[in-house]
Chains A and B, each alone.
Chain A
Amino acid sequence: MPEIESLSDISRLISDIQHKKFTRSYDIALRTEELLQELISKGHWKSAKELMNLVKTRIQLVRENLPQEATAPNIMRHILKVIREEYQSASKKKDEGQSLHELVTSTPSNVLDYSDSLINLRSSILDHLTEYKVELESSSDNIAAQALEHIHTNEIILTVGKSNTVEKFLKRAAKDRIFNVIVVEGAPLYAGHTMAASLAKSNIQTTVIADSAVFAMMSRVNKVIIGTHTVLANGGLRAASGIHAVALAAKHYSVPVMVLSHMYKFCPIYVGSHNHEAFNVCASPANVIPYAFGPILDKIEVNNPVYDYVPPELVTLFISHQGGNSPSYVYRLLSELYHQDDYDI
């Protein structure tokens, strides 16, 4: 049965993510893109509708198995939008959107079915996909290219843990400006250590502090620049654990918080309450207390959450390859990336 077989590609991706074979979300993005390329060029589909259904099943599978994973579903959602657009331009029909305007001007015949099979659809979608791949590969550099607009001389910048995007950003700025960076070590993963070592290699004056010193240092920090795992639909973040406290301290001292993020991290999902089990995931407590600690281990409970929810009012700016945006504009970016009907898949 071709339907069941064809899901093996996504299952492989899911299991790779679960086994932590990817160190960066960028790698996941590339893999997803490859998967989609395979699907579109070699998959068994005749009309746009069938293709969309194939993609939708995959999105659902990922969301079932990895509720926190956002990169892969986001890219697939974007492809759905691409498919719709290509279909519309090929069949010269306009889509019924969701806006007041559309509400008022729609006619009964406007409901699009996407079921016509068009000849050039496959190639046009593939073209679009290649464009998207190029965009993906260059987005890191594009973000880094904006570095000089945001960092001036003699600034003290605070960053948390390790983010490849932030690293590139700071290194790019360091080529022309002299500034200091304070790296928060980010226990229990201590990713900040690698980040600091790498920044120091590029001749940036780096100081490493423990998580506990953030509030103390914040009064002298000029900017906080961080990466994130996901950007939620309301402009909030799902970021590494501990970043909420950093953002609160920054708010207290009125320090701007800038979040560098690629477009595939923007997720159209609203989170009702961040205590919801699907929002956060807990990692092994061995990083917090080693198993060798002793017999009291069975008398205590240890929590080691991986993510943190940061509400949108604590974020000042989102920097993506298209430029900077305020958190209140995220809804617009989302509507450009994904189609309204695909928000909920």
Chain B
Amino acid sequence: MDKTKTSTDGSSKKEKKHHKKQSKDGQLEANLAENEVSHGCKKEIVNKTNNDATTGTVAQKLSEKELRRIEWEKKLESQKGITVTSNDQSVGQQPSEKELRRLEWEKKLQEQKAGDTGKETLSKAEIKAKRREQQEAQRQAKLAAENAKNAAENVKKVAATTPIKDPGKGLGKVEKKLDFPKKETKKTTDVHKVQLVQHLYAEMPQKKVSKLLVYNNIHPAFVKLGSQYLNKTILGSNARTLALMAALKHLIIDIQTPPKQELCRHLETVLQTCTNHLQNCRPFAVSMVNALRNFKLHLTQVDTNLKDSEKKAKLQDVIDVYIHDDIYKAGDAISLKVKEKISDGDVILIYGCSSLLKKILVDAHKEGKKFKVIVADSRPLLEGKEMLRRLVVAKIECTYIFLNAVSYVMNSVTKVLLGAHALLTNGYVMSRIGTAQVALVAKAYNKPVLVCCETYKFSERVQTDSFVYNEIGDPDLLSKIPNTEDPSPLSKWKENNKLTPLNLLYDVTPPDFVTAVVTEIAILPCTSVPVVLRINAIENT
């Protein structure tokens, strides 16, 4: 690490303090360093820092030549949208290395000549070199694309075949290279798509993001967030939105505007790449989309005459206000309203895990209301267990059942409380899969169903069935039976192309099953969602 101390870039040191993973360190520095290439920083230093980054988990001590070679490779690929992660990568690249290096040098010379204007005056030789460069890039891209096609499960990364600057997509291809040996088994999984929801498989995230991946332009907080989303460490729309806002704050604090660029515009572009990365890990929740949209709106409204630090403070303030008002305060208001509806002796049925519901029940219990809670849960996520733990800690009397027992207990239930992922404009409630079933059984027994949802989760989308827009989870979660030693008969589903487990994550509940929706504004019927959206839109303009 001492080698890097010669760097003139003070901020890079600060970042090192923030981030844990060295690879990401190096990446960011490489990123910044690249930005400064045109300013003529010493490349040797950059080489070494990059080298530290790429070989984070490998021994740091490599010869200078090696380092330089690796550096050039990376530079080239990053400019063409391909990232190299290990030294032993595709052999096919080896012969053209020298050529690449030469081309790189020439390019750099040109850039230095051209200066800040960015215009390049090319000589004949340079044109030829440039063309060769392009051909080279295309050849490599094709190679990578082939690997991607062979190893992938229908990922719609068409972008892999064309050279792009976005490193986020690049990492997708890199992963395919790593998965090379598994090509044969993955081919059979092509058939394991349920016809009805084929369009959803394309959005499925990659499995197990490799540790060796390097992200060029993405803030480390977002990288971490992405992997948390992917591994489902963070579940629940409120939690995801809060995590997103926190990462966004980090980004605002850390961002450095390049000269001749405005902070807000730059932030927008950086944010775009970061959010694309997150989308690839797991499609956005409606609440996240709304939160981001709100942030971007304020971003455009920031006064450009302020100093950078003032702008940053303002933006952080925007985020804080949003979190405070639309999430925490809304939660308090909803909790107050529902508390009035809970009477002593109530038996309340809830499904799955919702931070808002937990808050409501704990608050009502603190007030001294005497009620019992039945927690209904379902496979494969079994989120109800988490909810159960939290409620028991709060000393609420609880019963735990699986979804199949809902008909059995429904007679003794007095109210049903459900959380929501989003509320659609036609009155449908989009929520964790299984919610519609609970509401259906409740309706059959004439029990009132209350859906608790903050207004920031309202969406302009319209949906009538659960297939058009949904998320597919990991099918292996279904095929594994918990708590038993023996493997499930389904465990060999991959080999049998007639057998497919389907793990959907969301479903939509029709408004006739829902008695009322409790929001911070009022207790509304399900069909009043467009009214609220309209009012909110007027308020924001």
Number of B interface residues, CB 8 Å?
A: 54
B386 to chain A, nearest CB (A): 12
Are A212 and B483 in contact (CB-based, < 8 A)? no
Are B407 and A308 in contact (CB-based, < 8 A)? yes
List chain B residues, Cβ under 8 A from A288: 400-402
- A208, A217, A302: the one contacting B401 at CB < 8 Å is A302
Are A249 and B478 in contact (CB-based, < 8 A)? no
B411 to chain A, nearest CB (A): 6
Indicate whether A208 sits within 8 Å of B404 (C-beta atoms), given known contacts A215-B440, A215-B507, A220-B196.
no
List chain B residues, Cβ under 8 A from A204: 498
Are A301 and B389 in contact (CB-based, < 8 A)? no
Instruction: Count chain A CB atoms within 10 A of each CB in B380, B385, B434 and give the residue with the most.
Output: B434
- Tell me which residues from 482 to 500 in chain B have a Cβ below 8 Å from any Cβ of chain A: 482-483, 488-490, 493, 496, 498-500
A341 to chain B, nearest CB (A): 34
CA distance A243 to B90 in the complex (A): 54
Mark interface residues in A172-214 (1 if CB within 8 Å of B CB, else 0).
0000000010000111101001101110110111111111111
Are A213 and B433 in contact (CB-based, < 8 A)? yes
Beta-carbon nearest neighbor of B473 in chain A: A210
CA distance A203 to B498 in the complex (A): 6
Beta-carbon nearest neighbor of B444 in chain A: A248
- B195, B398, B479, B483: the one contacting A301 at CB < 8 Å is B398
- B196, B406, B411, B466: the one contacting A275 at CB < 8 Å is B411
List chain B residues, Cβ under 8 A from A93: none
List chain A residues, Cβ under 8 A from B499: 196-197, 200, 206, 208
Interface assignment of B210: CB less than 8 Å from any CB of chain A: no
Indicate whether A197 sits within 8 Å of B401 (C-beta atoms), given known contacts A187-B379, A248-B444.
no
Interface assignment of A2: CB less than 8 Å from any CB of chain B: no
List chain A residues, Cβ under 8 A from B441: 244-245, 248
Beta-carbon nearest neighbor of B372 in chain A: A301
Beta-carbon nearest neighbor of A219 in chain B: B465
Interface assignment of B467: CB less than 8 Å from any CB of chain A: yes
Are B478 and A206 in contact (CB-based, < 8 A)? no
Interface assignment of B194: CB less than 8 Å from any CB of chain A: yes
CA distance A114 to B411 in the complex (A): 46
A1 to chain B, nearest CB (A): 44
Interface size class of A (residues with CB under 8 A): 35 or more
Interface assignment of A300: CB less than 8 Å from any CB of chain B: yes
Indicate whether A296 sits within 8 Å of B440 (C-beta atoms), given known contacts A187-B404, A280-B408.
no
Are A303 and B399 in contact (CB-based, < 8 A)? yes
- A185, A207, A252, A302: the one contacting B194 at CB < 8 Å is A207
List chain B residues, Cβ under 8 A from A193: 479, 481, 488-490
CA distance A205 to B434 in the complex (A): 24
CA distance A214 to B499 in the complex (A): 18
- Chain A interface SS verdict (over half): mixed
Interface assignment of B321: CB less than 8 Å from any CB of chain A: no
List chain A residues, Cβ under 8 A from B389: 296
Interface assignment of A323: CB less than 8 Å from any CB of chain B: no
CA distance A290 to B385 in the complex (A): 11
CA distance A28 to B385 in the complex (A): 38
CA distance A220 to B182 in the complex (A): 35
Are A215 and B392 in contact (CB-based, < 8 A)? no
CA distance A139 to B450 in the complex (A): 48
Beta-carbon nearest neighbor of B401 in chain A: A303
Mark interface residues in B273-290 (1 if CB within 8 Å of A CB, else 0).
000000000000000000
- Tell me which residues from 479 to 527 in chain B have a Cβ below 8 Å from any Cβ of chain A: 479, 481-483, 488-490, 493, 496, 498-504, 507-508
CA distance A299 to B395 in the complex (A): 9
Are A207 and B500 in contact (CB-based, < 8 A)? yes
Q: Interface on B for A, CB 8 Å cutoff?
A: 194-196, 378-380, 385, 388-389, 392, 398-409, 411, 432-434, 436-437, 440-441, 444, 465-467, 470, 478-479, 481-483, 488-490, 493, 496, 498-504, 507-508
16 A-B pairs in the complex with CB atoms less than 8 angstroms apart: A193-B479, A197-B499, A200-B499, A205-B498, A206-B500, A208-B478, A208-B479, A209-B501, A209-B503, A213-B507, A216-B507, A244-B441, A245-B437, A300-B398, A304-B405, A308-B408
Top 9 A-B pairs, shortest CB-CB distance? A212-B434, A242-B404, A216-B466, A200-B499, A197-B489, A244-B407, A212-B378, A216-B507, A215-B436
* Given A209-B478, A210-B379, A212-B507, 10 extra CB contacts under 8 A: A187-B379, A205-B498, A208-B478, A212-B403, A216-B508, A220-B465, A244-B407, A300-B398, A303-B399, A303-B408
Q: Interface on A for B, CB 8 Å cutoff?
A: 180, 185-188, 190, 193-194, 196-198, 200-201, 203-217, 219-220, 240-242, 244-245, 248-249, 252, 275, 280, 286-290, 293, 296, 299-305, 308-309
